[in-house]
Amino acid sequence: MSISLLQAALSLAQFSPKIAKWLSGTKAESISQKILEIAKEVTHSCTEQEAVDKIKSDRRMHQLFEKALLDSERKIELAIIRDKENARTRDIAIINSGRRNRRADIMVVCAAIGLIACLGVICLYKRDLPGEAVGIISTIAGIFGSCLKDAYNFEFGSSRGSKEKDQTVANVLNKLS
């Protein structure tokens, strides 16, 4: 990955803290490119450095950049909502056709077995295991627990407040589209 690409994207993080959060993931290079494309488009610049300089020096460019980032984020959030909606619709169609979603069943069972196995190893061998091993196994158990939590959230939905927020966001995004 080009260091200057990531550095240029990080230099824009002072204008929008969410950029730093986006760049902390595994897709930092592609996100950097997208952020810099937005910056160049907004500022009508040919280079990344020129775009960064214009956003730093011109308040109007900074505002236009923020607006473009919000619009991009809105599209991403809408895609996530639609993806979850499509996955749930697919599951409902599978159940209505009289079949089972074996893939989901296997995933949940494997996560449960993994969690139980990790906890079992810690309980049975706690005295014989060094502290580092207990820490690693506990971390793995936490990952399996998180997988189960995600499965329950998908299957039963999230909390009522979160559902209301999702519905409000979906309504606002649909009005803006």
104 and 42 belong to one structural domain: no
Q: What is the pTM (predicted TM-score) of this model?
A: 0.45
Domain contains 161 = yes
pLDDT number for residue 1: 42
68 and 15 belong to one structural domain: yes
Domain, as residue range, for 25: 3-73
Domain contains 157 = yes
pLDDT number for residue 142: 94
Domain count, the chain: 2
Domain boundary among 73, 88, 117: 73
pLDDT number for residue 2: 44
Q: In angstroms, rounded to a whole number, what is the distance separating the alpha carbons of residues 79 and 7?
A: 28
Q: In angstroms, rounded to a whole number, what is the distance separating the alpha carbons of residues 156 and 150?
A: 10
118 and 68 belong to one structural domain: no
Domain boundary among 73, 92, 114: 73
111 and 69 belong to one structural domain: no
156 and 106 belong to one structural domain: yes
112 and 171 belong to one structural domain: yes
**pLDDT per residue rounded down to tens, the chain (177 residues):** 444 666 777 777 777 766 766 666 566 677 777 888 888 888 898 888 888 888 888 888 888 888 888 888 777 677 667 666 667 777 778 878 888 878 888 999 999 999 999 999 999 988 888 989 999 999 999 999 999 998 887 777 655 555 666 666 666 666 655
Domain boundary among 55, 73, 91: 73
pLDDT number for residue 34: 81
pLDDT number for residue 56: 85
pLDDT number for residue 117: 96
- Kindly tell me the burial class for residue 133, based on how many C-beta atoms sit within 10 Å of its own C-beta (0-12, 13-18, 19 or more): middle
- Quick check: 43 and 16 in contact, CB under 8 A? no
Q: How far is CA 102 from CA 51, 52, 97, 99, in A?
A: 50, 50, 14, 9
pLDDT number for residue 144: 94
